[in-house]
Structure 1
Amino acid sequence: MLEQIRAFLSGLRGDDKTSGPDTSDSDVAAAALFFHVIGADGVVDPAEARALKDMISEEYADSEASKKALIEAGAQAERESVDLYAFTSVLNRSLEPDAKVHFIELLWRLAYADGYRHELEDHVVWRIADLMGVSSRERVLARQRALKDAGISEEGDTGDES
């Protein structure tokens, strides 16, 4: 009886590890935000999905198994999320200022993976940057670097951010 009460209380606190991904893990939080950005416009382009997988391989996973697990955990965490703060607060605790700017640049790279930036993707990246304390200047510079890396001219950009 006492064990059932403990299990019930653990479930209320979120201590039950079988209930979902560990959103206190910074890699899961990052992956969830990646999914949030590429899904912001309602369409996950194959190029965006491929870029997300490549980015997780390059930046977060050291094996194919860990990449697959992180992708699944990130996707599930994003589906179950109610706001961005749950993820950005985890990243705020674990990332240094330069790493935060790098993370915002990664988000821009995902937003540009399909060749243009949709205004909803723009808004999501802006909001994440704001929640992470990345200045407007750093956010714009990160966007410009992502544009350059994607080979997209500033004039070809469909977003309205200056």
Structure 2
Amino acid sequence: MLERLNTFFQSFIAGEQDNEFDGNDTRVLIVALCFQVMEADGTISAAERKSLKKSIKDHYDLDRSKIEALLEAGQQAESEAVDYYRFTSELKRRLDENQRLELVSVLWDIVYADGMRNEMEDHILWRVADLLGVSDRDRILARQKAAERAGQKADGQAGDEQVAGDADAS
């Protein structure tokens, strides 16, 4: 999972080496979306944050203070956003189809980083993928692959894990 995150983030380094993190920096937009996904279940787990930090460190070649600055900029951008559209519309323009699908895959990896998938995370990924122009089929396949990488099962078939929040419906 970390390798996939690293590869994905590495693809956005070109042209953004100044390490000044304004709201239009692709890295900030990506990190902001990551925070939206991580916050969907009401908490940001240490595993989710650690995964994101390591990926940033490995592929942006930033020192600790710059990593923290990028995380802070992404979290600030996320907290100021009224919806996903601010990030997804810009990323849809900047990223090609394969990169948008890869972003959805990375977001699914973050969902599974804490070992649990929440129904709110499912909803956010559905909306984000839709706004990015990623098909339902590709979104579901990305979820299944992320679950496999995390050693979990992705759908609600017998023997699969329950999505957090669905337990009350049983």
Q: So what's the TM-score if we normalise by structure 1?
A: 0.79
Measure, in 2, the Cα distance between the counterparts of 1:22 and 1:34.
Answer: 16
Q: Cα offset for 1:38?
A: 0.5
Q: Could you list the per-position Cα deviations for residues 55-107 of structure 1 after superposition, in whole angstroms to 9, with x for gaps in the alignment?
A: 33345x22224422211110111111111101011111111100100000010
Q: Could you list the per-position Cα deviations for residues 42-66 of structure 1 after superposition, in whole angstroms to 9, with x for gaps in the alignment?
A: 111211221221233345x222244
Name the residue aligned to 2:163: 158
Name the residue aligned to 1:5: none
Name the residue aligned to 2:28: 28
Letter in 1 for 2:96: E
**Native 8 Å contact 1:25 1:90 kept in 2:** no
**Native 8 Å contact 2:28 2:74 kept in 1:** yes
Name the residue aligned to 2:95: 95
Identity level (%) = 45
Structure 1 portions without partners, runs of 5+: 1-20
Name the residue aligned to 2:61: 62
Q: So what's the TM-score if we normalise by structure 2?
A: 0.75
**Native 8 Å contact 2:40 2:120 kept in 1:** yes
Measure, in 1, the Cα distance between the counterparts of 2:137 and 2:123.
Answer: 16
Measure, in 1, the Cα distance between the counterparts of 2:80 and 2:43.
Answer: 19
Structure with the higher helix share, 1 or 2: 1
Q: Could you list the per-position Cα deviations for residues 106-160 of structure 1 after superposition, in whole angstroms to 9, with x for gaps in the alignment?
A: 1001111111110001111111000000000110111111111111123125278
Q: Secondary structure at the match of 1:151?
A: coil
Name the residue aligned to 2:146: 146
Is the counterpart of residue 40 in structure 1 residue 40 in structure 2? yes
**Native 8 Å contact 1:104 1:125 kept in 2:** yes
**Native 8 Å contact 2:113 2:150 kept in 1:** yes
Divergent runs of 4+, >3 A: none
Structure 2 portions without partners, runs of 5+: 1-20, 155-159
Matched length: 139
Letter in 1 for 2:31: A
